[in-house]
A and B are shown apart, each in its own frame.
Chain A
């Protein structure tokens, strides 16, 4: 599983000059949780974007032992957040959102933050976008996505990020 396999991008990132802020950000956040558990401290930090706050809160709770979830309620909010702090190895985005949709958002991420691995977690409607732009996302997950599938995708995405492929 995620932290135990030490596929943490925090470690990978320190070796990767393209993403110097990775380890620092992860270390800072995990210390703020105040937990003494070392596995918790090694948790990678990922950015989740969804217009439904309940999805974000529940993802954060469900993944809390594996990754730290930072939430954004819209693509605009997520881009603003990344602008200030680009130290995320992975982003997971919904597709259908008011304003900028997940496809446009991930295209922006790809252009401006090429080292971040992109996942799409969508209810519907994203199939054609993904088919037309296979390089836009590393993996396409459809809602409802079982946790095991999500964790596997995250695990793979973190490995991919750690070796410098987005």
Chain B
């Protein structure tokens, strides 16, 4: 009897060990929580926790405080309804980065009653990042198609307004030449002691000229038309920038004029920085660079928008316009794009997180935490380049995009 008990206990221990070993390799976290919220079981813990201390502790202490209330509600609901639920949440990882989890909670039934809750959480950070990148790419593609369509629609009226303005400008010059001649004739006629009828006609000419303020028209009408021509030229350069920016993406990398792509991007982003910063460009002569130009334009756009936001934070307090510096240069076989701001600089504490997805210091609704993360992916993964920065508190930050001139595959095969 006693022997039998020992054997049973050994079996229980062995099966417990087996269960632990199996569950340790299960993806994600599996917890059993009793009705008081104490952890009865956990298959493994994050490196910063000690498993022996975790068992018996309150489950909520491992989850963000702002989620405690809603988690408690879900927890209690399981005891009341017996139904399970699923939600997504994020917790702080070992390095303080955000780890996204999808979490299922359900009843743990022992002896016909709900004795606790089983919680299974699986990390989905990578999946979530891919989803967001995919959604962002899809949105960009849709915006691109829309923008290209609008650009096309605008081109036709720009064409005929431009042609009509040219015509008006020339026509106005011709009319003024004729008016000059007529004025000369009027002066001659006046000297020839004209008849009463002619004198009355001359007087009405003088009156009409005064009413129209002819000298003013002579000076200002051509100027106004020049302004229209100039404005229209700007409209058409913006439209052509949009069209090139939104050009449908190609699957393979092609050699492109990177300076041109950057100039287009700056035209498009102008509204982001024009009120906050003076733009200084130093685009040196570059050979054609083999890349996905839509992606690099996107990177430059993200960095420019970021720089503008950084400058905006300073301008808000100082009231003095900042400076946005955009440059390109060759460095060996690499081309380097630099985007500098006179913002606040990046605080030491957050430096290691700035390229992480979902990391943002901006107000809710302003930043998604995707801009730099996406830039990082596009530059390093898609182009085999590097994305780095130099920062000084109170002075500003400069980001450097370094790309192999010959494209990713060539750079790799050259390295092999």
Contact = CB atoms under 8 A, between A and B. Distances in A.
Interface of A: 52, 54-55, 57-59, 61-65, 121, 123-125, 142-147
Contacts of A142: 155
Contacts of A124: 148, 151-152, 155, 243
A151 to B, nearest CB: 10
A75 B72 CA distance: 72
A144 B164 contact: no
A62 B171 CA distance: 9
B151 A61 contact: no
A64 B170 CA distance: 10
A62 B170 CA distance: 8
Given A124-B148, A124-B152, A125-B152, A143 B167 contact: no
A144 B235 CA distance: 10
A143 B159 contact: yes
A123 B155 contact: yes
B166 A62 contact: yes
Nearest to B164: A58
Contacts of B171: 61
B159 A55 contact: yes
Contacts of A63: 163
28 contacts: A55-B159, A55-B160, A55-B163, A57-B160, A58-B160, A58-B162, A59-B160, A61-B167, A61-B171, A62-B163, A62-B164, A62-B166, A62-B167, A63-B163, A64-B167, A65-B170, A121-B159, A123-B152, A123-B155, A123-B159, A124-B243, A125-B152, A144-B158, A144-B159, A144-B236, A146-B162, A147-B163, A147-B166
A64 B168 CA distance: 12
B191 interface: no
Contacts of A147: 162-163, 166
A123 to B, nearest CB: 4
Contacts of A121: 159
B31 to A, nearest CB: 58
Contacts of A52: 156, 160
Nearest to A142: B155
A20 B236 CA distance: 41
A121 B153 CA distance: 14
Nearest to A57: B160
A144 B171 CA distance: 21
Nearest to B237: A144
Interface string B172-215: 00000000000000000000000000000000000000000000
A97 B37 CA distance: 71
A83 B155 CA distance: 31
B151 to A, nearest CB: 7
Nearest to B151: A124
A93 to B, nearest CB: 14
A84 to B, nearest CB: 27
A145 B166 CA distance: 12
Nearest to A141: B159
Contacts of B164: 58, 61-62
B155 A144 contact: yes
Nearest to B233: A146
Given A61-B164, A143-B159, 15 more contacts: A55-B159, A58-B162, A58-B163, A59-B163, A61-B163, A62-B164, A62-B167, A123-B153, A123-B159, A124-B152, A144-B155, A144-B158, A144-B162, A144-B236, A144-B239
